[in-house]
Amino acid sequence: MPPGWDRFAVLGEEDETGQPVVLSSGRAEATEREIAPEEVGTWIFTQAETFLDAHADVPLFLMVAPLAPHTAGTPAEQDADLYTDAIYTSESQNEADRSDKASWIQDEALTDDEQTTVDWIYQAQLRNLVGLDRETAALYAHVQELPGTTLFIYASDNGYLYGEHELWGKALPYEESVHVPLYVAGPGVEAGSDERLVAANLDLPATITAWFGAEPVGEGLSTLPAFTDATAPLREEVFLEDVSLQPWAGLVTERWKYIEWATGERELYDLDADPLEMESQIAAPPEEVDLYAWGDQIASQQALTHVTPFILPSVAPDESVVLRLRTVGGTEPVRFSATELPDGLTLTEDGTLSGAVGEEGVFGIDVVATDSSASARDGAPQTNTREFILSVRAEGAISQPFVRVERLDAGRARFTVDAQGPVRVEACRDPSFEAPCRAAEGPGPLLLLGLDDGAWTYRVSVDGHWVARRSEEHTSELQSQFRISYAVFCLKK
């Protein structure tokens, strides 16, 4: 039992039949039982209603975070045959001219197989949403029967791209990915909608705290005034950021969105005139836009992130290496350290990797960057850890490709390799690659399927030479309990 809990019930590891196992306990010893995938949604909402009934006479806060509409979720049996022919369409799909966007996006193009996958994801999400709507309505009706005053909030952490700008997935700066609705119902909340820049998810804790009459703590702003007054002042801008393999940060106002990529590339969109973000104005920004001020705002809020490609230039044995590692965000100065280095290499605190390795091989180097900030919560600095790969080959250095790995839903990973010559990607449970592997080869983005939960090691070859290697834990969305795509909050007092 985790410390501080009197009851704990979660979805655990899948067993050999693929059914999630529920661990539940009211005591020190947990019990286990199986639940069919199509019943997971109902089980989660049943747990919520049980909690509400057990605490009907006291103030409470309840957050319900179902698995749906993640694509790995299994719909309820009565919804399994719905939306089999649904196709998502948008004017920004098949965008012919993407020269105004980051260079890696200019090179993207959905293959037929990827478009088929996108269609499947869209249909699966629609099916999952039917049951989710049903369960949410039942929960809302249940809340209305409770004594006291209740505020009901319906939110999400991200949207999804289904081919807009030749992209698919989430964690990208475009509206389909970052702009999500926020629904609120409760006493004093006026019916209607507010199309202004209402809030960021950062503001939900402040709003919840204020609802209970306490002073909000942290950077969030309470949106309670806007629930009863459509003219109440709201945020003037929202900071956006993602620190994955293509780090970016941005600022969005009522009218404008400004994006900075870690590569130094920038984009600027007038959301009033160009809501689909088809034509960046960064080449000729209007006078009313102060990009210097916005850049300073972004820099002051940006998280510490490694931006050096994780594949380092390949070298021959005993060939000298001198490379300065780079980060963005955080507070200067930034100090670098490594848990273990190949014999012959050193890493200074300022991020200079130098030396020579005498033996052949592919070496993983875990580098920790630590900035000089102090968290308001515990006084600790920001840290960011990244594994870098160094390939030492007797044939000497080759043109080093850029490799981008995207872990997708439903046990899939997509590899984009910018290189001349035949490309092959392998993924194996066995780091020695002696066991059977998942593999794909050919030009363009390569898609590996069947990457179920657990540890996998990837490796990439160009023209018959292994140039990249990486190990990581692959976790499906079905098991990612704290990666919320949808949440219902019930606040009763």
CA of residue 19 relative to chain centroid, distance: 25
Q: Which residue has the tokens 């509409």?
A: 69
Are 1 and 9 in contact by the 8 Å Cβ rule? The answer is: no
pLDDT of residue 138: 94
| Element containing residue 64 per DSSP (H, E) | strand 60-64
The burial class, CB within 10 Å (0-12 / 13-18 / 19+), for 179 is middle
| Of 442, 445, 411, 444, nearest in space to 427 by CA | 411
What does pTM read for this prediction? 0.78
- Please write the tens of the pLDDT for every residue from 74-84: 788 899 999 99
Statement: residue 293 has pLDDT above 60 = yes
pLDDT of residue 43: 85
**What DSSP assignment string belongs to 332-399?**
SS-EEEES---TTEEE-TTSEEEE---S-EEEEEEEEEE-S---TTT-PPPEEEEEEEEEE-TT----
Question: Which one-letter DSSP state was computed for residue 157?
Answer: S
Pairing of strands 335-338, 305-306: unpaired
pLDDT of residue 186: 86
| Angstrom distance (rounded) from CA 44 to CA 46 | 5
- Please write the tens of the pLDDT for every residue from 419-465: 666 788 888 888 777 777 888 887 666 777 667 666 778 787 777 77
Statement: residue 26 has pLDDT above 80 = no
CA of residue 45 relative to chain centroid, distance: 25
Are 432 and 419 in contact by the 8 Å Cβ rule? The answer is: no
pLDDT of residue 481: 25
Torsion angle, alpha carbons of 438, 165, 72, 158, to 10: 130
Q: How many residues does the chain have?
A: 493
Instruction: Decide which of 338 and 457 is more confident.
Output: 338
| Angstrom distance (rounded) from CA 405 to CA 456 | 13
| Angstrom distance (rounded) from CA 158 to CA 169 | 10
| Angstrom distance (rounded) from CA 216 to CA 209 | 6
